[in-house]
Each structure stands twice: as structure tokens, then as C-alpha cells.
Amino acid sequence: MTTLINPSVRPLGVAAIGYAFMGKVHSNAWRNVTSFFDVPAFEQKVIVGRDPEQVAGAAAKYGWAESATDWRQVITREDIDIVDICAPGWMHAEIAIAALEAGKHVLVEKPLANTLAEAEAMTDAARAARQRGVQSMIGFNYRRVPALALARELIAEGRLGTIRHVRAAYLQDWLADPDSPMTWRLNKEMAGSGALGDIASHAIDQIQYLVGERVTEASGMLRTFTTHRPGPSGLEKVTVDDAVWATLGLTGGLSASVEASRVASGQKNSLQIEIYGTLGAILFDLESLNELGFMDATLPVREQGFRRILVNEPEHPYAGAWWPQGHVIGWEHTFTHQIRDFLVAIGTGTAPSPSLEDGLNVQRVLAAIEESANNKCTITAVQA
């Protein structure tokens, strides 16, 4: 096991596993975080991928000192202190557990794993590693949207009163065309699930994070609208869901509804969240991520109505590090905020949030929704 180093002695060495979509996004965050936030010193040491030529190109393009094709060898290196896992879900458990046991801090993309058993094993490894000062975090980056962070503050301050119910819908349309080609994200062995794990996991995490309650009951339905898609050798079977619907019961007597679809024509990346309380309500849409709708029900009826808060004042979460008021930020900034928070936690020796336990919590909800859909029943014991 590698001996943990003090970031003040030498920069932390970072390795990223995966160079495609998420690898590119995370690389952008690593490359830019020091320009806007004070964080412990680090170096982008190596990015890992299976294709030697492509990963070498990614290293040169994204600011990594070198590339490699063997993640097992990389995590044993003495100059690597942080492992950022951007690989597909089926690889998460093996890489994360090995990295944690090697004494490396771990950041892993969501959902935590492809199965509940894998997620539990990862969480056990994280818990053991934490006792040795090794930190870990799951990448629910929407917790770092300034508008959603502000929403959480308003709810915690009691501005909405008693929360009654929540609605969350995450809608995309990149699979609306039945002729869209087959990808690994449509193979259950590699992806674990479809819209359920890919995007409903974000919605479920946000519901629990914003209102501070846990899901205890779930009833769900899954649908696959296009059962076969064109692949390299002809039509291939789609083995995951295209869309999911769920009703959830939470602690505190709350109810919530979740909808997620990757075939919602016209919706590009719309995470819509509505939270209704006795004293007010909140509206949010990721496609307008700098804005928060807020309704104060304590005002006289003739003055009530949703007002638009442009969330980029220096007093708003994360916003003070960026541009002058009125100059909005984008989706990629949430990953920069995520890296910032992870590095600060490592530097201060505190457990970052969301933890792998939080990831396991969401994984249990995903498993309950899938079980409910398969057995046409309500699962009433979601959490262990």
C-alpha cells in the first residue's frame, strides 16, 4: 500500500481512468480548477485507456503528462495519489476497490456500480480506506450547480416551510430515433441499466439531497421502446430501459415522483425539479442552470408568483470564483466545483460529499425501482 503524502510536501499525482465523454469532462475540470479556486497542489500525471493511440492523443489534448493502457499498473505507482474513475459502470467496482486498497484517494462517476452487490463491496472498501485517511467520493455533479446549491440552502433555512411533495424529471432525446446506433450504454452487462442508472440516478440523488430525507418506498415501471438497434454486425438487442417512471415514499412523510427518458423528443438535457412546501415552492431546469424559480407563499395572494433568481451573484454558492454578475456559467463548471471540493477535502483530511455511502443509497433505490417494475409491486424496505 502506498504511504499517504502531505500535499505540502509534493503535488498530489492524479490518474484518470477513461478518456471518452466523462474523461474529457473531468480532464477539463482538472485543467482549470487552479485558475479559479485555491486547492492543494496537484499534477495531471497520467490518463488511461485501452486504445494506445487514442489515449495518447487525449493526453496531449487534455493536459496529461503521459498516457497508459494498464490501469492496474498505474494505481501501484508511488507518484499517483488520486484515481479519477471515468470508465463505464461495469469497471467501477474492480478499479475503485483496487485503488482504495492501494491507498489512493478515489473519485468515481455515477452510478456507483452496475449491481447492488458491487456497490456494497465498493462502500465497504471505502469505509475501510477512510480509517487509513484515504478519501473517496461519487460524482453527483449536479450538487455543484449553484442554483441547486442555493435551493438546498433556502430549504434548510425553512423558506419553503414543510415540504409536501417533489417532482423530478430528467429528459433527453438522443435515442428518440430508432435508427440511432447501438452503444455500450444499451447493453445491460456493460451499463447496468439504461435511463434508470444513467440519469434517474441524478434525479434521485437531488431529491434526497435537497430535502434532506431518504427514500424508504418505491414503485416503478420501465419501458424499452426500441428493442433492437443497428450495430457493427447487424441489428443488436437492446437490454436496458429507454425510460423509467417511479413514485417514491421518503422519511418525513414526503412523496416524490421521478421520470427519466432518453427518448423524449425535443428534450436535450432537461433535469426539471419542482419542490412544493407550505410556505413556498422552487422550480429548476438544468437547461437554464443559472436560474432558480422561487415562490414565497407568505406574501399576500395578490403579490404571489414565481420570481426568477439569476444565480451568479458573489453571494451565491461557487459563483464568486467566476465572472462578474450577469455573466453566466455552464454545465462543465459543475465538474470544476466537484474537483475543487474533492481536493479541499483531501487537503483538510475531511470526508468529501457525496460519499460512496451516498452512492450506495441511490443504488438501493435504483434496485428497488427495477425490482418493483419486474415484479409489478411496491418495495417497502428500500434502505438496509
pLDDT at 1: 46
Percent of the chain with pLDDT over 70: 98
In sequence order, the β-bridge partners of residue 219 are 247
- CA 380, CA 374: separation in Å to the nearest integer? 15
* Residue 2, pLDDT score: 47
CATH superfamily of the 145-330+362-375 domain: Dihydrodipicolinate Reductase; domain 2 (3.30.360.10)
Using alpha carbons only, give the angle 123, 124, 126 rounded to the nearest 5 degrees.
60
- Answer whether residue 7 shows pLDDT above 60: no
pLDDT of res. 142 = 98
Q: Which of 301, 336, 306 is nearest to 321 (CA)?
A: 336
The residue type of 92 is H
Hey, what CATH topology would domain 12-134 get?
Answer: Rossmann fold (3.40.50)
Long-range interactions of 305-310: CB distance < 8 A, separation 24+: 306/281, 309/147, 309/150
How does pLDDT run across 315-334, given as a tens digit for each residue?
999 999 999 999 999 999 99
How much is the pLDDT for 233?
Answer: 86
Q: Beta strands of the chain (E only): which ranges?
A: 12-17, 42-48, 66-68, 82-85, 105-109, 136-139, 163-171, 215-223, 228-231, 234-237, 243-250, 255-261, 270-277, 280-285, 291-296, 307-310
Residue 382 three-state SS = coil
CA angle, 96 as apex, 146 and 69 as ends, to 5°? 105
**What element of type H or E holds 150?**
helix 146-156
pLDDT of the residue at 210? 98
Sign of the alpha-carbon dihedral angle for 149, 154, 157, 163: negative
The percent of residues in the chain predicted with pLDDT above 90, rounded, is 96
Confidence grade of residue 384 (pLDDT, cut at 50, 70, 90): low
Domain range list for the chain: 12-134, 145-330+362-375
